[in-house]
Structure 1
Amino acid sequence: MSFRTLRKSEFDNGFCLQWWFSSANTYCGMAANQSVTGDHLFTFAKSYASFHGYISICVCVFGIITNIFNIIVLTRRHMSTPVNIILSWLAVSDIITMMSYVPFSMHFYCMYPDVNKTPDKNSKSWMTYMTFHINLAATTHTVSIWLCVLLAIVRFVHIRSPTKAFATRRRRMTQSKVLILLIYVWSAISLIPNYMSNELQENLNPESNETTYVLRDLRLGKNDTDALVLVNVWMYAVTAKLVPCLLMSIFGSLLIYNIHVKIRHRRKVLKISGANSMRLTEHSRTTKMLVSVILLFLVTELPQGVLIVCSATVKDFFDTVYLPLGDVMDIVALINNAVNFILYCTMSTKFRETFVHLFCACHFPHSNESIGYTLTDRLAKLDSHSNNNEHQNHINHVV
């Protein structure tokens, strides 16, 4: 779906597109005078919308495939850490989001790009799927951002209190799994007001006698906004955007500070050897990767949180600013879901070597030999080092 026109006559017909906090566009009514202050944004939205469906499908296909790679690599035995468990379930939530987005984008953007409502485009079955997609994407997106918060907290705790005790490591693994489960359950429960806000309405065209279906107009920024809608907006903005962004900023900053303090201390005390220098280089790459993951979420989520608050408090802001930015917010969120594989391969030697061993060894049988030992030997050494020397190598995991 897209903003195909800015003409007053088509707004009078009661059609517009609404991005509803879930990486999904929906239908709503729009008053005729709401296109005045947002002309430039709507013009941009109209231009980009013709490409959005195809771009989003390409991003989703790439993201689904690479996140499957992430899960396969991160769940290997020698990769088993609390952080990698979190990253695996982050990949799961991202896959669900993108799998739901593909049929939505194909139908409403590619197959029926025209702005007009038709019985085929706006059938009850497809609009029901849209409602399902909105609710599912809102849930999985909330799961992803809170998993990123958990990632920063767990990593910070590990760096502050590294341990080589097997029992402690197992306890932290169990705690991470429980917290992941709680995030999934809590995200679904907290979005119940969102599920209740999205209602289908039947729309009968008296001229053609055709029945189409649309989603109820939420009337954000109006004097007659429903109380349930306002509760939903504020709950979503605070619990799924602003608070997790604040926590990511705090723990991400503390994490970066503690890593640099420990690296400086080790340089002074240990008089590091060549091998330790290589290890510190890997530590630096790991730090940059974690910072990149956190920054991607902050860049994606924080502006949306601010825009949602403005939509609920500033008159006509939702229609003139938030709506035309809907497709842009969609594609930014989808790219954020899809790029983690690139970050892992670029910045983590352990992830990259494991991926090559799993997927490329059969194609390049001689490429795994390096200075007298094979990649399998290298992975075995990494596994042994992770299990027996975690205190000295506390930031040499994937993240």
Structure 2
Amino acid sequence: MADNVTYTYCNLTHFASTYKGLHGYLSVLVCIFGSVTNVFNICVLTTREMRWPTNLILTGLAVTDLLVMLEYIPFLSHYYLAPNAKQMQSHYSYSWALFMIFHVMFTQICHFISCCLTVILAIWRYIAISKAHNDALRRTVTSIPRTLLTIFLTYLLCPLICLPVFITHNIKIHNKSVRDDGQFISDKSLENTTDYQQVQVYTISIEGNFQSVTFFMYGVVIKLVPCILLTILSIKIIGVLMETKKRRRLLFINCGVPLVSVENDCGGAGGCAGSLTNTNLQQKRHIEKEHQTDRTTRMLLIVLLLFLITEFPQAILGLMIVIYDDPLFAKQCYYPLGDLMDFLALTNSAINFVLYCSMSRQFRSAFGEIFKLKVCEPCVRLPNNPPTEFNNGGTTQVTLV
């Protein structure tokens, strides 16, 4: 008797059915907004003034986010925006089954590329701030050619790593009874109906023997490992930021220069040139440069943390599916939250433009220059001495500050 008892892991059926009615409309709005804003991101980040390693990685992220959203819109229109279509034979045609497999493959690849690029972004930023005085190392490891090569290899290798997930999906054929208009007939109604025909419908499924492999690849390799690496790197970056702030404060205290005076008494670049000595002016420029680097790092940290907030729950659930090795857990806990997790991932992909505009003066300036927006007129002109992160062989690097 005990073997027939069904264990309940989660009771999310009501939540899933309630949210499903909203998911399609909310997601299509996010996809439209995100598609437009990611085009903006790509246009701005690829301008000559912004074409630097960190921004190239952000461009790679914007491209994958844009591709996901453009592909997600037809998926939403077919599976969520026409709920009555699920009662029709055309909803389960062979062509739509092929599209569904493509959707699973394409979104999985793009999400994994985003995960890897986010980890690379964290590594590049950690090198930039922890090796601030080692220009040779930074030019070697995080140069533009090496960054482009890294991005290219990421786009090339991620589909290969995802291959085990793809080969487990297949198309299954089912026989169904439909009326002349293509609407399905339930088994109960079939007894009282004479005007019907048998047709074949197509769905996709995961082979039972490979289901655990699929969830291991998805939950552990594609999701959990990048999240763990991002967590470690984010902690290290925060540690370097705190150490830099502490060292900067001690430096100015030991030099007898009030930190507040250096930061606040000078309104703009060169604003205190007549009142500061050459030594103090150099110290002022040095601290401005470090503050610009800190602002960039804080903004990129927010990008990393938002990514972790979105991806970590999926990674944990995927790992728990592997640990429990029970299809009921996936059915009761994972699948009911699938739509919500997709929406959070889409929102995270769409929000970067807002983040860049709110935290990056350089991004706002470049955006205003490109699109000639009057609302950006106070900041459309790039400063004569643009923000610098470090001087690379006599060339000034402009990043998101």
Which bracket does the TM-score occupy, shorter chain normalised? Answer: 0.7 to 0.9
Aligned pair count reads: 348
**Mapped contact 1:312–1:318 kept (Cα < 8 A):** no
Partner letter of residue 201 of structure 1? K
Q: State the secondary structure of the residue aligned to 2:312.
A: helix
Matching residue of 2:231: 249
Given candidates 50, 61, 66, the residue that maps to 1:95 is 66
Deviation at 1:255, TM superposition (A): 1.1
When residues 100 and 259 of structure 1 are mapped into structure 2, their CA distance, relative to the original with a 3 A threshold, is same
| Correspondence 1:151-300 to 2 at 5 A | 151-162=121-132, 168=139, 172-206=143-177, 208-218=197-207, 225-226=208-209, 228-270=210-252, 271=257, 273=262, 274=266, 276=284, 282-300=292-310
Q: Aligned to 1:54, which of 13, 22, 25?
A: 25
* Counterpart pick for 2:101 among 107, 131, 135: 131
The residue number in structure 1 matching 2:335 is 323
Q: Is the 8 A contact 1:117 1:212 kept in 2?
A: no
Q: Does 1:381 align with 2:385?
A: yes
Please tell me whether residue 120 in structure 1 is matched to residue 90 in structure 2.
Answer: yes
Query: Cα RMSD (Å) of the superposition?
Result: 3.0
- Cα deviation, 1:210-230, whole Å, max 9, x if unaligned, reads 321111255xxxxxx30x332
User: Residue 155 and residue 377 in structure 1: after superposition, are their counterparts in 2 closer, same or farther (change >3 A)?
Assistant: closer
Deviation at 1:260, TM superposition (A): 2.5
CA deviation profile, 1:12-42 (whole Å, cap 9, x unmatched): xxxxxxxxxxxxxxxxxxxxx98x8378411
The CA deviation string for residues 241-280 of structure 1, in whole angstroms up to 9 with x for no partner, is: 1111111111111112112222332333254533546655
**Partner in structure 2 of residue 308 of structure 1:** 318
- 1:398 is matched with 400
Q: Deviations over 1:135-188 (max 9, x none)?
A: 000000000011000000011111122355699279621111111112112210
Q: Report the AA paired with residue 325 of structure 1.
A: L
Q: Is the 2:101–2:169 contact (alpha carbons within 8 Å) kept by the matching residues of 1?
A: yes
Paired with 1:214 and 1:354, the residues of 2 have a C-alpha distance of: 47
Q: For structure 1, which runs of at least 5 residues remain unmatched after alignment?
A: 1-32, 219-224, 370-374
One-letter amino acid matched to 1:65: V
Alpha-carbon distance in 2 for matches of 1:292, 1:195: 32
Instruction: State the distance in 2 between where 1:313 and 1:165 align.
Output: 46
Structure 1 stretch displaced more, 73-82 or 282-291: 282-291
Greater mean alpha carbon deviation, residues 208-217 or residues 62-71: 208-217
Residue matched to 2:45: 74
Counterpart code for 1:196: I
Partner of 2:115: 145
**Corresponding letter in the other structure for 1:289:** M
Q: CA deviation at 1:360?
A: 3.3
Distance 1:265 1:105, change over 3 A: same
> Does residue 352 of structure 2 align to residue 340 of structure 1?
yes
C-alpha separation in 1, matches of 2:39 and 2:106: 19
Inter-partner Cα distance in structure 2 for 1:329 and 1:160? 34
Unaligned runs of 5+ in 2: 178-189, 191-196, 270-283
Separation in structure 2 between the aligned mates of residue 48 and residue 390 of structure 1, nearest angstrom: 55
Quote the Cα distance in structure 2 between the aligned partners of 1:170 and 1:138.
Answer: 29
Contact 1:288-1:347 within 8 A present in 2 as well? no
Structure 1 letter corresponding to 2:399: H
Report the residue type matching 1:161 in the other structure. Answer: K
Q: Describe how 1:342-381 pairs up with structure 2 within 5 A.
A: 342-361=354-373, 363=374, 367-368=377-378, 375-378=380-383, 380-381=384-385
Structure 2 match to 1:26: none
Q: Which amino acid in 2 is paired with 1:150?
A: I
Aligned counterparts of 1:171 and 1:101: Cα–Cα separation in 2: 33
Normalising by structure 2, we get a TM-score of 0.78
